[in-house]
């Protein structure tokens, strides 16, 4: 698919996914830095979470590259991520401090990304077997 026929909604979805990838990467860096300056309950648990955050961050960046390149296999992982992000955001609503703001942003981005994934133009662009332009 050439760049001239790309849906504008595909670009919006890429921006949403990019914001999410930046957010997870930023949190991963912050969490990693906290290992050096704050006490942890268990070092092994904290290192496991750090590894998990690194994997999630890498997964998001790979999805973003796949979406930019209009790869057909990007929809399922993106749906899984949007669902996971919405669930984590909803569970953070009652968190202490200003984390509820982060939770609302996560929920809004997840809902927006989820809706964009199922719009007809984006669905056609990232379909497994896109229709030929010659038809």
- Residue 72 domain flag: yes
- Residue 132 domain flag: no
pTM of the predicted model as reported, rounded to 2 decimal places: 0.85
Q: How many domains does the chain have?
A: 1
**How many Cβ atoms sit within 10 Å of the Cβ of residue 56?**
19
pLDDT tens-digit map of 81-117: 999 999 999 999 988 888 889 999 999 999 999 999 9
12 phi and psi angles, rounded to 5 deg: -65, -40
Q: Give residue 68's domain range.
A: 3-125
39 phi and psi angles, rounded to 5 deg: -75, 145
- Residue 96 domain flag: yes
DSSP structure string for 69-106 = TT-GGGHHHHHHHHHHHHHHHHHTTT-STTHHHHHHHH
Q: Above 50 in pLDDT, residue 1?
A: no
Element (H or E) spanning 51, and its range?
helix 43-68
pLDDT at residue 99 in the model = 86
- Residue 17 domain flag: yes
- Residue 131 domain flag: no
Residues 106-135 have a mean pLDDT of: 82
- Reported confidence tier of residue 15, pLDDT bands at 50, 70, 90: very high
Q: What percent of the chain stands above pLDDT 90?
A: 71
- Residue 56 domain flag: yes
- Residue 18 domain flag: yes
Residues 5-27 have a mean pLDDT of: 93
- Residue 42 domain flag: yes
pLDDT tens-digit map of 52-83: 999 999 999 999 999 999 988 899 999 999 99
């Amino acid at each position: 698919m050439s760049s001239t026929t790309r849906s504008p909604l595909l670009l919006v979805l890429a921006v949403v996914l990019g914001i999410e990838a930046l957010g997870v990467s930023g949190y991963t860096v912050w969490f990693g830095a906290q290992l050096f300056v704050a006490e942890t309950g268990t070092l092994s648990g904290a290192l496991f979470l750090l590894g998990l955050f690194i994997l999630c961050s890498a997964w998001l960046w790979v999805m973003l590259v796949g979406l930019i390149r209009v790869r057909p296999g990007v929809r399922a992982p993106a749906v899984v991520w949007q669902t996971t992000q919405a669930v984590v955001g909803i569970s953070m609503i009652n968190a202490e401090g200003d984390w509820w703001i982060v939770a609302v942003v996560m929920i809004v981005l997840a809902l927006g990304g989820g809706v964009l994934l199922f719009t007809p133009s984006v669905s056609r662009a990232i379909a497994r077997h896109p229709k030929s332009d010659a038809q």
